[in-house]
A and B are shown apart, each in its own frame.
Chain A
Amino acid sequence: MAEYDQEKRKAYWRENVRLMVVLLSVWFTISYLCGIVFVEELNTIRLGGYKLGFWFAQQGSMYGFVAIVFIYARRMAVLDRKYDLHE
């Protein structure tokens, strides 16, 4: 039973880390890539009055961060139940 419990915890942790890696790549893309590294290229595209790179740096990245945190909270709540490790 204890060994089964160990395995379960390991599997839970692996899934958690995988989810984090995916979400952190999104986090990196919308801020560092779109907002800083490729800002000049994106600035050639317009979003209304905004240049797109400028929009990512001063608006879009932040909306993305909010979405990431809530997606993480929701997915983890599902994961907690799946492995029966919730409070």
Chain B
Amino acid sequence: MELQTLTYIVVGITFSIYIGIAFWARAGSTSEFYVAGGGIHPIANGMATAADWMSAASFISMAGLIAFFGYGGSVFLMGWTGGYVLLAMLLAPYLRKYGKFTVPEFIGDRYYSKAARIVAVICLIVASVTYVIGQMKGIGVAFSRFLEVSYEIGLLIGMGIVFIYAVVGGMKGITYTQIAQYCVLIFAYTIPAIFISLNLTGNPIPQLGLGSMMVGTETYLLDRLDQVVTELGFAEYTTLTRLSPLNTFVYTLSLMIGTAGLPHVIIRFFTVTKVSDARVSAGWALIFITILYTTAPAVAAMARLNLHQTIQPAEGGNLVYNERPDWFKNWEKTGLLKFEDKNGDGRISYTADKASNEMVKVDKDIMVLANPEIAGLPNWVIALVAAGGLAAALSTAAGLLLAIASSISHDLLKGVFRPEITEKQELLASRLAMAGAIALSGYFGFNPPDFAAGTVALAFGLAASSIFPVLMMGIFSKRINKEGAISGMIAGITITLLYVFQHKGIMFVASTSYLGDMKPNWFFGIEPNAFGAIGAVVNFSVAYVVSMMTAEPPEHIQHMVEDIRVPAGASSAQSH
């Protein structure tokens, strides 16, 4: 069957499933809308968390980044999984014990201050909106290629689908939809990887294939790849370090802390029944994530090898442009892949040398989507990858939009400005807030600031510098008070935002960057995307110093902290 038809069928079937589930599990109460009624099994919750977590950045961008950064891409692998260790030990069980709907609600109660709650809402919205922008870019890229529509139309379709099932279903609908989306995306990711690993190394398990020898030779795959790329003038794959080792260290730390501070991930642990379930559920989420994350480096290395071998099958025998394969032509149409015949020989030459390189544009975001085509896999596999990429982007967007909507309707409206509204009015407000959030993120999707994973990394920096430190201090210290927490959050997110805007432009408008995105200006050579960890350190320090200079928290707050440290006496999540 024609690839186009097949893609429409597979994507159509998965979308009908998502929307069907949303109507079947639609939310009737605020508890169901915010935390799915608090009765989700830990394994089911782990699966939903994994889908919520693994975004377009993980599915579409990450392996592409690793393919071109080699070892340097490890920051994403370690950073986006290691955060779950922090989450499982330092936050999830205690926040579940406290049993509220939203992250700012906990901050407001623990720091006995509406101001702290409002500051937390603002930090949450800044981080989440930045994150959604990354998803929107992913949705646009996936749709534009697979449905052969323009990027803008693709984005509009994606927004429409998210709108239907997130607004109707709330957290309950989103959770069940995400379970389905996890299944779709993990099949879509691993099946092509298994085929490609089998083709290249004869080993069907990609994690082992990456460490195996090439079929019919005595050469290990990674050694072969190192050889191919260095011959073309690129840096050696397995040792290539982006920027400095210090930057790698700080970047990884930022992603880990950010992971544990992202509100849409934290609220997932409000949906399980017990405190002990929150700990176990974090483990299941991590297993489901690790299945994809340990496959990604194999996909990356094999895609890179296949790409070079397609373009240069033998020494001096570069691919003739007129004989280029279909996938090449298809990606040229999207503008994400560009060839320029600089030496006029009609053949494609792909080297590290800018002057003679004729592959003038190879967008990293296309690698995963193009990978099965480059490897010549059957059409149904390619259609499956399209559905998987869309599932990843949609599930994360829905989870984030819910976190944004609940903080507006529950924390700002019900919690601060209009406490007298009924549950029904609050539910309506959260649905309206969700629609607003979709429109806003769609606007940014039309004007994205950076490639998808870069934008997402930025969101992590913002979450790392604002939300994680105050949550952790709120549990592990009885001494940190409202003055400390508020000044810590403001200092952390401000310094991170200033650093990012200084280099990337205010609100990502490049021309407004006030010192220019110049590497010499980077603080100890740390790139803007990696700055969240520094922001977190600032947050911790400022909160500590300010708290020590002001009065200690009232006694009932200290009792509350003691109480959340033990599981005994937990009830399901509720608003009062």
A residues apposed to B, CB below 8 Å:
9, 12-13, 16, 20, 23-24, 27, 31-32, 35-37, 39-40, 43, 47-51, 54-55, 57-59, 61-63, 65-66, 68-70, 72-73, 76-77, 80, 83-87
Contact = CB atoms under 8 A, between A and B. Distances in A.
B81 interface: yes
Contacts of A24: 85, 89
Interface string B212-245: 1100000011110000000000000011000001
Contacts of B71: 39, 54, 57-58
A80 B280 CA distance: 14
B88 A72 contact: yes
Contact of B81 (A23, A65, A83, A84): A65
A37 B249 contact: yes
B294 interface: yes
B274 A27 contact: no
B470 interface: no
Given A9-B566, A58-B77, A87-B570, A66 B238 contact: no
Given A48-B212, A61-B82, 10 more contacts: A9-B562, A9-B566, A23-B89, A48-B220, A58-B71, A59-B294, A68-B85, A72-B89, A73-B282, A87-B568
B14 to A, nearest CB: 27
Interface string B70-99: 010010011001101100111001000000
A66 B207 CA distance: 16
A85 B252 contact: no
Main secondary structure of the interface of A (DSSP, over half): helix
23 contacts: A13-B566, A27-B82, A35-B78, A36-B74, A48-B212, A49-B221, A51-B238, A51-B239, A55-B211, A57-B74, A57-B78, A58-B71, A58-B294, A58-B297, A62-B77, A62-B290, A63-B294, A70-B280, A70-B283, A72-B279, A76-B279, A80-B568, A86-B567
A55 B172 CA distance: 39
A72 to B, nearest CB: 6
The listed residue with most B CB atoms (<10 A of its CB), out of A16, A59, A62, is A62
Given A39-B71, A43-B239, A69 B85 contact: yes
A47 B286 CA distance: 24
A40 to B, nearest CB: 8
B293 A20 contact: no
Contacts of A61: 77-78, 81-82
B248 interface: yes
